[in-house]
Structures are given as C-alpha cells and as structure tokens.
C-alpha cells in the first residue's frame, strides 16, 4: 500500500519527522516533486541529519527514490550521499531518468531574476537553488533530464542548443557577465562524468515501472511531499510559490503511478500547530514581522505582537533549514487548512510542534476571513484578495509546559485538556482524524494515535 505525506501549509510543517516515523514500515520512500529547496531534519539515534534532496527514509535503510517530478542537482545529491557515507550510513538512492537536472546556470538565473525583481513586490524570496528556472526549461521542452546524462551524445546536443540561449539571456537581457556555468565544454565535462557515476552505481530508474514492481511485490511505498500546499504552483498563492506540485496529485504525476494508487492509500496532511512562512506574500494570521518579507513591516517601528512572534520563533527554532533565514510566524489559519484538506483529500492529520505553544496564556486560531463584508471559510483564489482578508479569530485557553517525553510515552489522553480541545477543533474542521502529534524534535516525542499502514 501507499502513504502520502503532504504539507498542508507553507512548507516547514515538520514533514521529515512524520516521514521518518511512518517510514519505519515503508520499504521505499519516494519524493515526487521539488529539489534541494526542501530541508528536512531527521534525528536518528541521537544524531541529527539535515537533508535537502535525498529522501529522509534513506537514513534508515529504505530505498529512497527521486521521482520524475523532481528536479535534481547532482552536486547536492552526491554531496549528501557522500556525507551520509562518511557518517557510516549506506544510503540506497535511485533517481528517475525522467527527472530534470538542475544545471549551474539555473541557480545563477534564479538569483538574477530575483535580483531583477528585488525593487518590486514581485520578488518571491526563492531558495536560490535554481528550482524555478529548471521547471521553466522542463515546461519549455529545453530541459536536460537525468536520462540524458547517461548518453554523452544526447547531452552534448542538448547543451549546445540550450546553453547559448541561457548565456544570451544572462548577458544581453540582464547584462550579467557569465562564466563557466554557461560554458558548453565545462558543463559537458562535469555532467557527463556525473552520468558515468550514476550509471556505475546503477542509480537511475524508470520510476513508474520501478515503483509498480515494488508495489506488486507487496512492498510499502511512501510518497514524501516537499514544501506545502500553499506554495504549490497551482493551488498555492501564486506567484509566491515554488514551481512544482507538493499536493497529493503530484504523487501521481511525479512518480509515474496512477492517481488511484495514491488515492487508495492514506494521505496524511502535516499541520504545524501554528504557521510559518519563508519569504514574501500575505499571511493574514501573522504575528510580528520579518523586515523585507512581511508586507509593510518596519523592524525599527515594530508592532505589538513582535514579542510573541519572537517567542514562538525561538521556541520553535523557526529558521530556514536550507537558508538559515528567520521565518515569519503566525497563528493557525483554518481557511488555509480547509483549502488544503479539499485539494489533497486528507485521510488523516499529523499536528506538529504542539509543545512550542505550551506556556502561552491563550492560543488563537484564524477561524474565518472577512473580506468585502463577507465571511469566508476558505482561501480566495487570488493572492491579492487573500492579502485583503482579515481574520476572525477563535481563542483557546493555553496549555502548560509539561514533560513532553512522558506525555508521548503515555499517549493522547496524557495531553493537557486544552491542547486536546485545540486538536479536536482542528480535526472536526478538517474532517480528518489526528493520526499523530509532534511534541518534540525526536521520533520518541511523537504521540502516535494511528498507524496508517
């Protein structure tokens, strides 16, 4: 069977921990979209591992697959694999031949375009990993795929077509001087060697076929979504989105399996007990602000929720795994979550970071929006309208700081009563049971109510 893990908010919901927890029963863990813009931290036997590309299951002897919907930076891939090897692990990672390759010029172009937008509200605040430019080339039918790296003639031909275009774009449109990142010979040399390494290690697969065979053999396959629903290119708040589909539909298109395969399994929405966002865009439940990211926020002037935002940011360690940037912080946003529940069809929920909110007198939730005098229970389709939404808040009584390891060991009923009321509200509103509750960073600090397999 399959279990799909999807971020229900803006990314950084703590998916890695849940993939790790439920991945225990999986034989194969597959990423179906995104690239090294993701960041997951997994704690295994007291050791912390930070990964941005390799599926986190690979830390625990699972087969890790990067599906065709991913964009793969081979430098990152091999760096991560080599680092894991140096730490005594033997990760088994397979890469779809249909996945697209992030080339050095994609990263440069990502930076150039962000810079060009920096004076306007158009700046997305990307991770700078070349994700958007790579998906652009995929859609523009000028991309280079993992399979192309295995055939030097095809690789050369594709590079000779595309690289002069990229060079002209950088130099003639943006007026930026280019170096070996835009040089056909240099790129050919490096990427042909990468192709050799992939082939020698038998790392490439026809992802759909590979996964179908594993399922037919009775194995458990987990689909690991990166990022989150509200930064999905189709269902997120465009243009402040990533360029792929983190939503559950991506588990079909990004792996080569039918939608029925993911649809017949469990689809678990990962919810952070509050909200964070990296980069620009509206955030109706925002507390405090991050200068440069929060619209209209001036750090010197500050505002009256700054202290609370700082408290949550520190308690939750809310700094980007990939970039180290401080994340914007807000209360839980239910219209956002209702939208996510519809788009993804959650069969269960995992609510993370409940411990971070402990000790507050009260915990608020954006229950509904008001916009143009109307009450809305779900998100509007345009980002501009979303930015115009005001929140109607519900207030929950806070819960005390407790020994979370004990609570995790004792189970759901050991949670403080007010924390349970909060969880039950979320579950009722989204029409899905809570399968797991994260109350700390380690795997043992999770209350498991349901095993999805």
Nearer to ligand IMP by C-beta: 226 or 436? 226
* Residue 18 lies near ligand IMP (rule: CB under 6 A): no
The residue sitting closest to ligand IMP, measured at its beta carbon, is 11
As measured in angstroms, the least distance from the Cβ of 185 to ligand IMP is 28
Nearer to ligand IMP by C-beta: 11 or 452? 11
Handedness of CA 433, 340, 211, 20 (dihedral sign): negative
DSSP state of 372: T
Contact with ligand IMP (CB under 6 A) among 70, 112, 231, 379: 231
Give CA separation, 165 vs 43, 116, 155, 168, 171, in Å.
43, 18, 16, 5, 10
The two structure tokens encoding residue 376: 């809305």
The two structure tokens encoding residue 360: 């507050």
As measured in angstroms, the least distance from the Cβ of 40 to ligand IMP is 8
Q: Any catalytic annotation for residue 12?
A: yes
Nearer to ligand IMP by C-beta: 384 or 413? 384
Nearer to ligand IMP by C-beta: 19 or 257? 19
Tell me, residue by residue from 108 to 127, as one string, x for binding to ligand IMP by CB under 6 A and - for no binding.
----------------xxxx
The Cβ-side half-sphere exposure at 301, using a 13 Å CA radius, reads 4
Contact with ligand IMP (CB under 6 A) among 242, 245, 383, 446: 242
Contact with ligand IMP (CB under 6 A) among 2, 8, 11, 445: 11
* Residue 240 lies near ligand IMP (rule: CB under 6 A): yes
Asked if residues 320 and 279 have their Cβ atoms less than 8 Å apart, the reply is no
Asked if residues 117 and 124 have their Cβ atoms less than 8 Å apart, the reply is yes
**Stretch of 138-146, 235-243, 264-272, 400-408 contacting ligand IMP, by CB under 6 A:** 235-243
The two structure tokens encoding residue 119: 């004076």
Contact with ligand IMP (CB under 6 A) among 279, 288, 330, 438: 279
Q: Any catalytic annotation for residue 79?
A: no
Place of tokens 């050791």: 47
* Residue 38 lies near ligand IMP (rule: CB under 6 A): yes
**Stretch of 25-33, 34-42, 65-73, 443-451 contacting ligand IMP, by CB under 6 A:** 34-42
Handedness of CA 77, 83, 86, 89 (dihedral sign): negative
**C-alpha closest to that of 339 among 6, 40, 30, 69:** 6
**C-alpha closest to that of 229 among 396, 342, 88:** 342
Find the catalytic residue in 12, 110, 137, 148: 12
Judged by CB under 6 A, how many residues of this single chain contact ligand IMP? 20
Angle among Cα 16, 269, 263 to the nearest 5 degrees reads 110
As measured in angstroms, the least distance from the Cβ of 313 to ligand IMP is 15
* Residue 33 lies near ligand IMP (rule: CB under 6 A): no
DSSP β-ladder status, 286-287 and 332-333: unpaired
* Residue 225 lies near ligand IMP (rule: CB under 6 A): no
**Stretch of 93-101, 239-247, 367-375, 385-393 contacting ligand IMP, by CB under 6 A:** 239-247
* Residue 278 lies near ligand IMP (rule: CB under 6 A): yes
Find the catalytic residue in 20, 36, 40, 353: 40
Handedness of CA 385, 390, 395, 398 (dihedral sign): positive
Contact with ligand IMP (CB under 6 A) among 8, 37, 134, 344: 37
Annotate 44-72 with DSSP letters as a single string.
ETTEEEEESSS-GGGGGT-EEEE-TTBEE
As measured in angstroms, the least distance from the Cβ of 215 to ligand IMP is 27
* Residue 368 lies near ligand IMP (rule: CB under 6 A): no
Strands of the sheet with 348-352, listed across from one edge: 204-205, 92-96, 63-66, 28-31, 221-224, 2-7, 266-272, 348-352, 434-438, 446-448
Interface positions with ligand IMP (CB under 6 A): 11-12, 37-39, 124-127, 129, 131-132, 226-227, 231, 240, 242-243, 278-279
Question: Catalytic site residues?
Answer: 12, 40
């Amino acid at each position: 069977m399959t279990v799909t893990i999807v971020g229900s908010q803006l990314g950084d919901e703590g998916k890695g921990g849940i993939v790790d927890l439920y991945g225990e029963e999986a034989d194969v863990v597959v990423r179906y979209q995104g690239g090294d813009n993701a960041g997951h931290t997994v704690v295994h036997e007291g050791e912390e591992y930070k990964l941005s590309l390799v599926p986190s299951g690979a830390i625990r002897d699972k087969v890790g697959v990067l599906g065709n919907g991913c964009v793969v930076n081979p430098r990152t891939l091999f760096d991560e694999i080599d680092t894991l090897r140096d730490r005594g692990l033997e990760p088994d990672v397979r890469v779809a031949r249909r996945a697209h390759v992030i080339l050095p010029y994609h990263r440069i172009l990502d930076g150039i375009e962000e810079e060009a937008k920096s004076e306007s509200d158009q700046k997305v605040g990307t991770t700078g990993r070349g994700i958007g430019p790579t998906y652009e080339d995929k859609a523009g039918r000028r991309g280079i795929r993992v399979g192309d790296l295995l055939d030097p003639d095809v690789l050369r031909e594709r590079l000779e077509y595309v690289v002069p275009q990229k060079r002209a774009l950088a130099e003639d449109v943006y007026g930026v001087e280019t170096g070996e990142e835009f040089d056909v010979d240099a790129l050919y040399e490096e990427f042909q060697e990468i192709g050799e390494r992939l082939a020698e290690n038998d790392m490439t697969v026809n992802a759909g076929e590979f996964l179908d065979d594993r399922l037919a053999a009775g194995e458990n396959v987990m689909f690991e979504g990166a990022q989150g629903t509200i930064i999905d290119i189709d269902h997120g708040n465009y243009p402040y989105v990533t360029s792929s589909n983190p939503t559950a539909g991506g588990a079909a298109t990004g792996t080569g399996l039918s939608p029925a395969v993911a649809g017949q399994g469990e689809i678990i929405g990962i919810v952070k007990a509050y909200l964070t966002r990296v980069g620009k865009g509206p955030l109706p439940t925002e507390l405090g602000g991050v200068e440069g990211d929060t619209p209209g926020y001036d750090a010197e002037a500050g505002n009256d929720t700054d202290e609370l935002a700082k408290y949550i940011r520190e308690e939750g360690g809310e700094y980007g795994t990939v970039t180290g940037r401080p994340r914007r912080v807000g209360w839980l946003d239910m219209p956002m979550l209702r939208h996510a529940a519809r788009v993804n069809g959650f069969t269960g929920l995992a609510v993370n970071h409940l411990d971070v909110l402990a000790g507050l007198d009260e915990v608020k939730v954006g229950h509904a929006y008001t916009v143009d005098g109307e009450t809305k229970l779900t998100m509007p389709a345009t980002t501009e309208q979303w930015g115009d939404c005001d929140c109607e808040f519900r207030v929950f009584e806070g819960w005390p700081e407790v020994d979370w390891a004990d609570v995790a060991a004792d189970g759901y009923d050991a949670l403080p009563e007010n924390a349970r009321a909060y969880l039950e509200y979320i579950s009722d509103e989204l029409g899905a049971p809570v399968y797991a509750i994260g109350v700390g960073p380690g795997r043992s600090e999770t209350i498991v109510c349901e095993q999805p397999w």
